[in-house]
Amino acid sequence: MSKISIHIIVSLIVILYEFEKGNVATELLLLLILLGFSYSLLINIIPNRKVKLGLFVFGVLILLAFPQYIFLLPLLVPGAFLNVNKFSFLIFIPFLSNFQALYLMLAGLLLLWDTLLARKDDEVVTLREEKYNLIEDVNRLSKSIDLMRMEKERDETLTLMDERNRISREIHDTAGHTLSAAILNLKALSMTTKETETKENILELKETLETGLQDIRRVMYDLRDSSFDLENKIMELLETVENSNLTYIVDSNLSYGIKYDIFAIVREALTNYIKHSDGRNFKVYLVESDRFLVLKINDDGKIPDKEIKEGLGLYSIRKKCEERDWKFNITTDRGFGIHILMERENENITGR
C-alpha cells in the first residue's frame, strides 16, 4: 500500500468520526482535513531530513496551540517514523492525556505500519544496490574477456605475420640467391659451349631454373602480401596519439606495394600532425567503391593565413602519388586534410 493511500484512508477515518460527533462544521472539517492532508504530503515529498523535522515539529506545535483540532494529529503520522526519525513518535506523548482512544490507536497502528514500510524500503534499496553492483561486475568482466580475446587474436596474427616474413626472407636469402647464381653460371656456360646439343640442354636447364625462381618469387610475394595487415598497421600507428579514429572499408586484396605506400602516407601525415598541428583530433578514412579507392586524412588544427609550405613529409606523399598515378589534393576548409583518389582499374592498385 502506498503512502498516499495511507493518507487518504486516515483522512476518511478522521472525517467520518468527526462528522458523526458534530463538533466541527462540515465545511470547516473538510477544509482542515484537506490542509492536514496536504501538509503531511509536503513532509513526505521534501527530501531534506532537517526540513522534514522542522515541518513536523511545527505542525505538532500548531496542534498544541489549538487543542480543539487535535483530531488532525493522525494525519501527521504517516511517514513521520520513516522520514524524520525513529524516535519521532515520542512527540505524541504530551497528547496522551487529552487524546481520544480511537486516534491514539490509529496513531500507533500507523507508526507500526510505517516501521514495516521503512524496513521494506531499506531491503529494496539494498537489493537494488546489489543488483547494480552485479551488473557493473558483469559488464567489467565481459569487457575484460573481450579485451583478452582481442589481444590474443592480435598476438596470434602478429606471430603468424612474423613467421611468414621470416620464411620469406630465408627463401630470398638462400634459395633465391642460389638459383640466381646458378642461372648466371648456366648463361655464361652456354656462351662458352660450342656443342649445339650441350648448349641446348644448358639453355633448357636455365629456363627451368628461371621458371622455378619465378615460382619462388611468387610464393615470397604471396607470403609478404598476406603478412602485411594494413588495417592493423594503421591502428598501431594511431594508438600513439589520443583522439584518433580509423574508418577502414576495403575488401579487395591489395598488393604489398600498395599497402606499404598507403601505410607510409598515413605515417608521414601522422608525423606532420604531431610536429606541426595544434589540433586535437586525427582521422583516417580508407574506403573502396566500384571504381575508386579513397584515402582521406584529416585533423582539426588551425590553418595559418599564409600559404602552406610543402616540407619533406608532404613532398614524399606527393611523389608516391605521382609514381602511382594517384590524384593528390590538400584541403584546408575544416582543418588540414589530405585527399588521395586511386582508380581501381589502374594497374598500380593491383600490381606488385
pLDDT tens, residue by residue, 262-284: 988 998 898 888 888 888 899 99
Length of the chain: 352
What confidence score (pLDDT) does residue 342 get?
Answer: 92
Q: Sort strands 282-288 and 336-343 into parallel, antiparallel or unpaired.
A: unpaired
Predicted confidence at residue 303, as pLDDT, reads 75
Kindly report, residue by residue over 244-254, the tens digit of the pLDDT. 888 888 887 78
CB atoms under 10 Å from CB of 103, counted, come to: 21
pLDDT at position 289: 85
Q: What is the dihedral of CA 169, 170, 174, 179, to 10 degrees?
A: -60
CB contact set of 206 (below 8 Å; sequence gap of 6+): 183, 186, 187, 190
The answer to whether 296 and 338 are in contact (CB under 8 A) is yes
Residue 45 · residue 39 · CB < 8 Å: no
d(Cα 10, Cα 17) in Å, to the nearest integer? 11
- CA dist 235 and 248 (Å) reads 10
Collapsing DSSP states into helix, strand and coil, what is residue 251?
coil
Give the whole-angstrom CA distance, residue 33 versus residue 11. 6
* pLDDT tens, per residue, the chain with 352 residues: 455 566 566 666 666 666 666 666 777 777 877 787 777 777 777 777 778 778 877 877 777 777 777 667 666 665 554 444 444 454 454 444 444 555 555 555 565 566 666 677 778 888 888 888 888 888 788 777 866 776 676 666 667 667 766 776 777 677 777 878 888 888 888 788 777 778 788 888 888 888 877 777 776 666 666 667 888 888 888 888 888 888 888 887 787 778 888 988 998 898 888 888 888 899 999 999 888 899 999 998 887 655 666 777 888 899 989 988 999 999 888 888 999 999 876 544 554 4
Contact 186, 202 (CB under 8 A): yes
pLDDT at res. 297: 94
Cα–Cα nearest to 221, from 258, 254, 255: 255
E strand or H helix at 329, and its extent? strand 327-331
Please report the pLDDT score of residue 97 as a whole number.
47
Q: Which amino acid is at 153?
A: E
Cα separation values, 45 from 39, 83, 116, 221, 238, Å: 10, 9, 19, 75, 53
Residues 312/256, Cβ–Cβ less than 8 Å: no
- Centre a 10 Å sphere on the Cβ of residue 217 and count the other Cβ atoms it contains: 15
Cα-atom radius of gyration of the chain, to the nearest Å?
A: 43
Query: Global pTM?
Result: 0.43
Q: How far apart are CA 189 and CA 187, in angstroms?
A: 5
